[in-house]
């Protein structure tokens, strides 16, 4: 999205305007599949401007929106952003508890940038949650496939039935 380019370029206010336009278009055209990602990007832009509470709310909304729509990849992206925000606030345990089960759902795609980023953050959080552990790898190898996951061919975006929603600290 163009908003992400503005975030990278250090112009978050312009990026937020782009997000507002994207949300307006999604609403007008009833194309809601991108809204979870839009909320994540909004959170990234708000975090960049210092609006940490608003960023957290946006990430939570992105996660909540992705869950019932089988948007596991968008859920993971929003959870990774929220976990990073919490890490920066010293909430490493909460960040790990949020991100680990979402990342653990995936059975393939571990060579993609999104899963590599989540894995690296989990590894970092693991060493902070368990200090003194000699290398606490959260995921050093690809996980075994979930036996309860629905098989949908090559899609890594399908939802696993009965998976509990992530827990947010109060």
pLDDT score recorded for residue 70? 75
pLDDT score recorded for residue 27? 82
CATH code assigned at 68: 1.25.40.10
Single pTM value for the model = 0.72
CA distances from 170 to 49, 104, 134, 135 (A): 24, 23, 31, 30
pLDDT digits (tens, 9 = 90+) for 123-164: 999 876 666 543 334 444 444 433 333 333 333 333 334 444
User: Residue 141 domain-assigned?
Assistant: no
User: Residue 156 domain-assigned?
Assistant: no
User: Residue 54 domain-assigned?
Assistant: yes
User: Residue 154 domain-assigned?
Assistant: no
Residues of the chain with pLDDT under 50: 133-164
Sequence-separated (6 or more) residues with CB below 8 Å from residue 28: none
Looking at the structure of the chain, the number of domains it has is 1
Domain residues for the domain of 123 are: 2-129
User: Residue 108 domain-assigned?
Assistant: yes
């Amino acid at each position: 999205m163009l908003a992400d380019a503005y975030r990278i370029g250090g112009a978050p206010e312009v990026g937020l305007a782009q997000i507002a336009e994207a949300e307006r278009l999604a609403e007008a055209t009833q194309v809601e599949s991108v809204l979870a990602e839009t909320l994540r990007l909004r959170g990234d832009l708000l975090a960049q401007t210092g609006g940490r509470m608003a960023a957290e709310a946006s990430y939570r909304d992105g996660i909540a929106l992705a869950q019932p729509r089988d948007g596991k990849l968008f859920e993971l992206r929003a959870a990774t952003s929220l976990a990073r925000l919490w890490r920066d606030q010293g909430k490493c345990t909460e960040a790990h508890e949020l991100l680990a089960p979402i990342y653990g759902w995936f059975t393939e795609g571990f060579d993609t940038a999104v899963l590599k980023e989540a894995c690296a953050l989990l590894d970092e959080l693991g060493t902070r949650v368990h200090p003194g552990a000699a290398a606490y790898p959260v995921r050093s190898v690809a996980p075994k496939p979930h036996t309860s996951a629905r098989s949908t061919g090559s899609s890594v975006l399908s939802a696993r039935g009965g998976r509990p929603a992530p827990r947010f600290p109060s």
